[in-house]
Amino acid sequence: MAEFSLELSEDQIQLQKWIHDFAENVMRPQAEEWDEREEFPYPFVEEAAKIGLYGWEFMAEIMMNDRTGLSTPVALEELFWGDAGLGMSIMGTGLAAAGIAASGTRDQLAEWVPQCYGTADKIALGAFCASEPDAGSDVAAYRTRAKYDEATDEWVLNGTKAWITNGGIADIHVVVAVVDAELKSKGHASFIVPPNTKGLSMGQKYKKHGIRASHTAEVVLDDVRLPGHCLLGGKEKLDERLARVREGKPGNSQAAMQTFEATRPAVAAQALGIARAAYEYSLEYAKERHAFGRPIIMNQSIAFMLADMATEIDATRMLVWRAAWLGRQKKFKNAEGSMAKLKAGRVAVHSTERAIQILGGYGYTREYPVERWHRDAKIFDIFEGTEQIQQLVISRAISGLRIE
């Protein structure tokens, strides 16, 4: 077990610096353009792949080869400090990889995760498809069905997935589907839909409030036939698990929830990056901007806003690092991952809103980046479990009661 320390290793400091330079010199200059274009930034992701920042090797490096768990939040804070829409265009595939890691066998991990990313010369994308038009927070209400065809050893998937990052443009779709409706959320399984599979298509592409460089769309599954080996974890393990649940014995936790649980501290670190970007920008602005013959920071009302922002951001980083460390040591006790996500989303929204306030009229225009950061920040109260769902998870953990 690694000791918890606030001192980063030499490697982690190098990683932080490397991503910060990329964020400052490559991401920031093109962030506004991709936000306006509202389309997936292929040239940008290709550039990230060329320097090794987009790829399964990079993800493995920051996630697996780090006993402290801190490399991931350190890297993601810098990336999202650069820009959240572009950051998500790099990180969306990570959700699919996490879905495979949560339910797949070692062989499946080795086969499919590299295919989610492709190579530096030919990038690929992955998508994790859990949410549906009538079922986001309420995972027990998923309707997408997977039926086993014994004659051909194939699974047949039908349904519609909603709000899917990289949905329809991905090479690999990881789909959560119902295999036994009576078992509600315990009757789910995850499937790989390989590239160019017949029956999978993109539905509507959403026009969004923020992270507009990230592609979000519906995924329609119409009689999608998948070979048996595309069931993550394999049929034998699934049958055993379903049998245990039917007998009333505790099954493994739900497929989708496993993925979300493992990724919450990382998502919190992304929100933290946006909060810090807004704080740093408004601090500099407040020192430069004059009103009534003095820099506006000389007014306590402005300086105290910045003092509060700095304090909240540092408090959030402590929660995020604690959660990342606990997650790596497999020592979560009181939903610390959800605490970090809850706090980070709120702090990102609040800090970016305060930044607009400090910039005044300029802050409200698209000439300055803080309005974009404010739009981007709001998603962190919504995806990967809304604010209220995090509160639900935390309240159940601290009370031991089934709070509804």
Active site residue 336: no
CA–CA dist 160, 139 (Å, integer): 14
Which token pair is 48?
């990230």
Taking alpha carbons only, the member of 197, 200, 175 closest to residue 99 is 175
Q: Is 163 in the site for ligand FAD (CB under 6 A)?
A: yes
- Least Å distance, CB 392 to ligand FAD, is 6
Smallest gap, in angstroms, from Cβ of residue 151 to ligand FAD?
31
Q: Is 79 in the site for ligand FAD (CB under 6 A)?
A: no
Minimum separation from the CB atom of position 59 to ligand FAD (A): 16
Residue 290 pairs with which residues in a beta bridge? 295
Task: Report how far apart, in Å, the C-alpha atoms of 160 and of each of 203, 234, 359 are.
Answer: 8, 23, 43
Q: Which of residues 193-212 bind ligand FAD (CB under 6 A)?
A: 208, 211
Q: Does 297 bind ligand FAD (CB under 6 A)?
A: no
- Note whether 95 binds ligand FAD by CB under 6 A: yes
3-state secondary structure of 225: strand
Q: Give me the least distance between CB of 173 and ligand FAD, in Å please.
A: 10
Our finding on whether 164 is near ligand FAD (CB under 6 A) is: yes
Regarding 382 and contact with ligand FAD (CB under 6 A), the answer is yes
User: 157 or 305: whose CB is closer to ligand FAD?
Assistant: 157
Q: Cβ 210 to ligand FAD, closest distance in Å?
A: 8
The Cβ-side half-sphere exposure at 273, using a 13 Å CA radius, reads: 30
Q: How many CB atoms lie within 10 A of CB 50?
A: 13
CA nearest to 372, candidates 119, 36, 136, 8: 36
Site string for ligand FAD, 116-155 (x = CB under 6 A): ------------xxxx----xxx-----------------
Does 302 interact with ligand FAD (rule: CB under 6 A)?
Answer: no
262 binds ligand FAD (CB under 6 A): no
Among 313, 379, 393, 394, binds ligand FAD (CB under 6 A): 379
Residues 6+ apart with CB under 8 A from 102: 190, 255, 258, 259, 262
End-to-end CA distance of the chain: give it in Å, rounded: 36
What residues from 209 to 228 belong to the interface with ligand FAD (CB under 6 A)? 211, 216
Asked if 130 and 256 count as a contact pair (C-beta separation under 8 A), the reply is yes
State the Cα–Cα distance between residues 6 and 9, nearest whole angstrom.
Answer: 10
64 burial (CB, 10 Å; 0-12 / 13-18 / 19+) is exposed
383 binds ligand FAD (CB under 6 A): yes
Q: What tokens does 268 get?
A: 């919190």
Cβ proximity to ligand FAD: between 68 and 89 the closer is 89
Question: CB-based contacts of 151: which residues, under 8 Å, 6+ apart?
Answer: none
Among 18, 303, 386, 397, binds ligand FAD (CB under 6 A): 386
Residue selected from 53, 109, 310, 392 as contacting ligand FAD according to rule CB under 6 A: 392
**Nearest residue to 174 via CA among 84, 87, 111, 265:** 111
Give me the residue whose beta carbon is nearest to ligand FAD.
136
Tell me if 52 sits within 8 A of 112, measured CB to CB: no
Is 97 among the residues that bind ligand FAD (CB under 6 A)?
Answer: no
Comparison of 167 and 233: residue with beta carbon closer to ligand FAD: 167
CA pseudo-torsion sign 64, 66, 68, 70: negative
Q: Which stretch binds ligand FAD (CB under 6 A): 107-115, 179-187, 334-342, 375-383?
A: 375-383
CB of 2 to ligand FAD, least distance (A): 30
CB of 134 to ligand FAD, least distance (A): 8
CB atoms within 10 A of CB 380: 28
Instruction: Name the one range near ligand FAD by CB under 6 A: 277-285, 317-325, 330-338, 376-384.
Output: 376-384
Q: Tell which residue, 315, 258, 310, has the closest CA to residue 95.
A: 258
46, 261, 384, 404: which one is catalytic? 384
Site residues for ligand FAD per CB under 6 A: 95, 128-131, 136-138, 163-165, 208, 211, 216, 379, 382-384, 386, 388-389, 392
Residues labelled catalytic: 384
